[in-house]
Amino acid sequence: MQKVTREALIEKAASLLANGTVTSVLAWKKGEFDYDITPALFTGEEEMHAELVWNDFCGANLSKYLVAKTKKAEGKILVFLKSCDTYSFNQLLTEHRFDREKVYAVGIPCCGMADIDKVKAISGDGIASIECAEKIKVSTIYSEGAAEMDLNDVLLERCESCKSKKHVAYDELMGEEGEILDSHRFDEVERLEAMTPDERFAFWQEELSKCIRCNACRNVCPACTCEVCVFNNPASGVESKAPVNDFEEKMFHIIRAFHVAGRCTDCGECSRVCPQNIPLHLLNRKFIKDMNECYGEYQAGETVGQRAPLVDYTLDDLEAGEVFERGGDNA
């Protein structure tokens, strides 16, 4: 269960709406099912009481929505940010993607979010309703009673290896501030690195072959906010290109990982939204790990205006040859 209640969020939002600080509120509401909670913009208190949701399924990172919403909104938007979302928030500000003056950011503590697949593994398919209290209670159309589970047993992978409970940006913080955590987020990358090139190729071949090119990963990614994505750009030569072989299709993910390298905050949204459950975040984490090792520890979005190592130069930078040697036959 989350530490701050839904009612507290509504109360906070309502008071800021009432005193004119903000004119709209970016939060979450229920989608088709109880578990597909989606971002939503509210302008009135009643609306919030009716629809606003804050529970263990509010994984969606609201930062990216500010890019489009601030362009349209008159006045300020209140946005609720979990600690991991604040990194994306800063990164977007670094890239001048929205006007900070048009946003009122409220940091909210997060106890991690639930992975619906893990939930389903316990409850079974056909979920009829979910209730988030001390325990998550899930009833399905096939079962009589509700299955109960602990949030901690069904956490999203990204929450299991949460990098920070600390909010790096906000105008106001609700609840207690957390700390930067010593996460084990690179363990899985290390496992992949230990593989032989053939094993690793087979791993990614297997994973990426599941891709249906729904573009959900790109559309949700807070680093992918280009006005025109290269994959939609007629001049790029890759727009609407039929894949020549099964691997060319996978280049989409590799190109995307290159495009967000140094800008990815490791928020994990790509893997959360993938309908095929491809562990896309591992590609980005490999980049982050390599950059940390080559150019020193760097966390995208930690502050506004920081220079990412790939677009910066210092005398201590690794020589190109050294980078090459890290690759080679054993890579």
Partner 1 sequence: MQRIGVFVCWCGSNIAGTVDVKQVAKALENEPGVVYSTDYQYMCSQAGQDMIVNAVKEHRLTGIVVCSCSPRMHEQTFRKTAAKAGLNPYMVEIANIREQCSWVHKDMIVGTEKAIILGKAAVAKVNLNAPLTPGESPVTKRALVIGGGIAGIQTALDIADAGFEVDIVEKKPTIGGKMAQLDKTFPTLDCAACILTPKMVDVAQHEKIRVFSFSEVSEVSGFVGNFEVTIKKKARYVKEDICTGCGACVDKCPVKKVPNEFNLGMDNRKAIYIPFAQAVPKVATIDPNACNMLKAGKCGVCSKVCTAGAIDYTQKDELVTEKYGAIVVATGFEPISMEKFDEYAYSQSKDVITSLEFERLTNAAGPTQGKLLRPSDLKHPEKIVFVQCVGSRCASCAEKGKEYCSKICCMYTAKHAMLTRDKYPDTDVTVFYIDVRTPGKNFDEFYRRATEDYGVKYIKGMVGKIVPEGDKLHVQGSDLIANEQVHIDADLVVLAAAIEPDKSARPLATMLTASMDTNDFFTEAHPKLRPVESPTAGVFLSGACQGPKDIPETVSQAGAAAAKVIGLLAKDKLLGNPCVASSDENMCNGCSSCANVCPYGAITYEDKEFRMPDRTIQVRRIAKVNPAVCQGCGCCTVTCPSGAMDLRGFTNSQIMAEVDAICK
Chain contacts with partner 1 (rule: CB under 8 A): 71-72, 94-97, 225-230, 233, 235-237, 259-260, 263, 307, 311-312
Nearer Cβ to partner 1, position 15 or 233? 233
CB of 294 to partner 1, least distance (A): 18
Nearer Cβ to partner 1, position 4 or 221? 221
Nearer Cβ to partner 1, position 71 or 213? 71
CB of 231 to partner 1, least distance (A): 10
Q: Edge-to-edge, what's the strand order for the sheet holding 147-149? A: 127-132, 136-140, 147-149
CB of 311 to partner 1, least distance (A): 5
CB of 103 to partner 1, least distance (A): 16
Nearer Cβ to partner 1, position 258 or 324? 258
Between CA 172 and CA 80 the distance in angstroms is: 10
Nearer Cβ to partner 1, position 126 or 243? 243
CB of 244 to partner 1, least distance (A): 12
The alpha carbon dihedral of 61, 28, 34, 135 has a sign of: positive
Between CA 38 and CA 35 the distance in angstroms is: 9
Nearer Cβ to partner 1, position 95 or 325? 95
CB of 105 to partner 1, least distance (A): 20
Between CA 81 and CA 171 the distance in angstroms is: 11
